[in-house]
A and B are shown apart, each in its own frame.
Chain A
Amino acid sequence: MVQFVLRRLLLAVPTMLAASVVVFLMLHLVPGDPAIIFFGDQPVTPERLELVRRQMGLHRPLAVQYLDFIRGIPRGDLGRSIHNRTPVLEELVTRVPSSAQLALAAFLVAVALGLGLGLVSALSRGKWIDSGAMLVALSGVSMPIFWLASMLIFVFSLKLGWFPATGFGGWNRLVLPAVALGFISSATLARLVRSSVLEVLGQPFVTTARSKGLREAVVISRHVLKNAFIAVITVMGLQFGTLLSGAVITETVFARPGVGKMLVDAISNKDFPLVQGAVLFIALVYIVINLLVDLSYAYLDPRIRFE
């Protein structure tokens, strides 16, 4: 198991490096000079422009700039925001708690809803509960998250006044964004849980368990769910990606000061160091989550460890 973990950790390193190359090159592929963007509409002399380009290190060869960028990462140096000159890391650090809180809460909502809907649907196959649960799941797949979020704000915030519509801090500001993001992410999960459970229910070992006289609840919890979980964990991992990108939109709708909102604002303001920092951060989180998913396979299915 230790060998497997080490191998997977080593494999994640080149992916992270490649992601960093893409993110770094992004700044240099942008049409227009970052120094000109820094000055915006202000009139500027060529000498002043050249000075700022030198301060930003843009006069050096691309490879040197990349190496400097990579060397800076372990020290936490991701550059400075073009607009307010604050360090990118500082901007990220102040926004991570809001995003982490939202991602975690939405993930819990997604897992609870997805497992619940999928399991109920599979165990009542062909009945109206099955059709109802799958219709809910299908509408979740088809619903734009920014619309669901707006509708939740309209009903529960503007009309009923139960929750605040925007901001960060306190559980009551977390409920609506977490429900919106969690519901959208739960839809795919529910569909997969249903098909995985149905597949496992048809296996001979389930028939054996039943013929031994085990109670249905025991058959489901001990034999069906455990075996259906491998496929479910894959999708839960992939759904975390959906969750991360959904968080970008959710944070914008609910005006939560998270990494996603920072990214959207930075793109609008053409603040490329901030865009780089946010994209790199989200990509790294995604790589780490995928790594954890792989490791959890190995834990759940011993065959994977020995391959």
Chain B
Amino acid sequence: MRTSIHASASSEAPAAAPALPRSPSRQVVRRLRRSRSAMLGGVILLTLVVAAVAAPLLTPYEPLVMNPVERLQPPNARHWFGTDVFGRDLFTRMLFGARISLQTGLISVSIALLVGVPMGLLAGFYGGLTDRSLMRLVDLMLTFPGILLALVIIAVLGPNLLNAMLAVGVSASPAFARVVRATVLTSKEQAYVEAARVVGCSNARIMLRHILPNTVAPIIVLGTLGVAGAIIAAAALSYLGLGIQPPTPEWGALLSEGRNYLRVAWWLTTFPGLAIMTAVLAINLLGDGLRDALDPRLQS
């Protein structure tokens, strides 16, 4: 008997499907796909990621091998973006640099998430002294504007790639803590949290299973835009000589190498800068599109 009910239900399911509302995530994807600027950003970003991954296949040159005979050549058919002072192909160095720059952005934001999300979650959920202490810490971190906190961390830890990512990640974390806390404050008053408490869920379970999923949308938006900011911040540290050290090809470091040859080799500064700008612009376009697609006010 039970089998027959299942059978009839499943045979009716396709007819009933069109009347069902789309799931929220599918609605978001649909709205995102309708945004031309977000799609443009996504395509540019995807192209950059593919180029970075397939770098060895796209160029016959090595990023670190010097060739003094071909030093400081302007862009030409053999070297599309010219060569640097050691005769290395700039296009090749930028392709390999994309790997490091994009990774730096992603890892820095992951660090910011690891630091900021638990802070915001605990502060918003427990309130009281926990909230006050954690938010004072966030306020204190925000006392050092922009790149200054990252500079302080670099001053303490010393300049290298790992410390640059750590510095950029930690200095970006207060923004995540604040956004997550604000979302948690709204979510914890909802009836389903009360229901979870009534059926005996522990605080940890309520936080992780019922409240944390509500913070995903703002985290996605802030995280995406954060990658853009992190790429620029890490490039700035490299430019100042306080991030990735030569001869590693990172976009900011390439720009820094080029600045001493601005008069004789404009390409060394121009192309890495354009690469940073293109990547950041693409991520910003995608992030703006995601924000519009995820904004509940637009859903109504």
Residues of A within 8 A of B (CB): 15, 18-19, 22-23, 26, 29-31, 138-139, 141-147, 150-151, 153-154, 158, 240-242, 244-246, 248-249, 252-253, 263-264, 267-268, 272, 275, 279, 282-283, 286-287
Rounded to whole angstroms, the CA-CA distance of A252 and B259 in the bound complex is 12
- Contact (Cβ within 8 A) A242 B146: yes
Supply 18 further A-B pairs (C-beta < 8 A) apart from A31-B157, A245-B145, A283-B144.
A18-B136, A19-B143, A26-B155, A31-B156, A31-B158, A142-B281, A144-B239, A144-B273, A147-B273, A147-B277, A151-B273, A245-B146, A245-B147, A264-B241, A267-B154, A282-B144, A282-B148, A283-B143
Interchain residue pairs A-B with the least CB separation, the first 7: A245-B146, A241-B145, A147-B273, A142-B281, A142-B280, A245-B147, A267-B155
**Closest CB in chain A relative to B253 CB, distance in Å:** 12
- Contact (Cβ within 8 A) B240 A264: yes
Residues of B within 8 A of A (CB): 136, 139-140, 143-148, 151-152, 154-159, 228, 232, 235-236, 239-242, 252, 255-256, 258-259, 262-263, 266, 269-270, 272-273, 276-277, 280-281, 284-285
- Contact (Cβ within 8 A) B155 A30: yes
Contact of B277 among A142, A158, A240 (CB under 8 A): A142
**Closest CB in chain B relative to A180 CB, distance in Å:** 12
Contact of A147 among B145, B156, B266, B269 (CB under 8 A): B269
- Contact (Cβ within 8 A) B147 A249: yes
Residues of B within 8 A of A151 (CB): 269-270, 273
- Contact (Cβ within 8 A) A26 B156: yes
Residues of B within 8 A of A153 (CB): 262
- Contact (Cβ within 8 A) B284 A248: no
- Contact (Cβ within 8 A) A245 B139: no
Rounded to whole angstroms, the CA-CA distance of A246 and B147 in the bound complex is 8
Residues of A within 8 A of B241 (CB): 264, 268
**Closest CB in chain B relative to A138 CB, distance in Å:** 6
- Contact (Cβ within 8 A) B228 A286: no
Residues of A within 8 A of B236 (CB): 144-146, 249
Residues of A within 8 A of B144 (CB): 19, 22, 279, 282-283, 286
Chain A residue nearest in CB terms to B282: A142
Chain B residue nearest in CB terms to A30: B156
Q: List 23 A-B contacts (CB under 8 A).
A: A15-B139, A22-B143, A141-B280, A142-B280, A144-B235, A146-B239, A146-B252, A147-B272, A150-B258, A240-B145, A242-B145, A244-B145, A244-B148, A245-B146, A252-B240, A263-B151, A264-B242, A267-B155, A267-B159, A268-B242, A275-B155, A279-B152, A286-B145
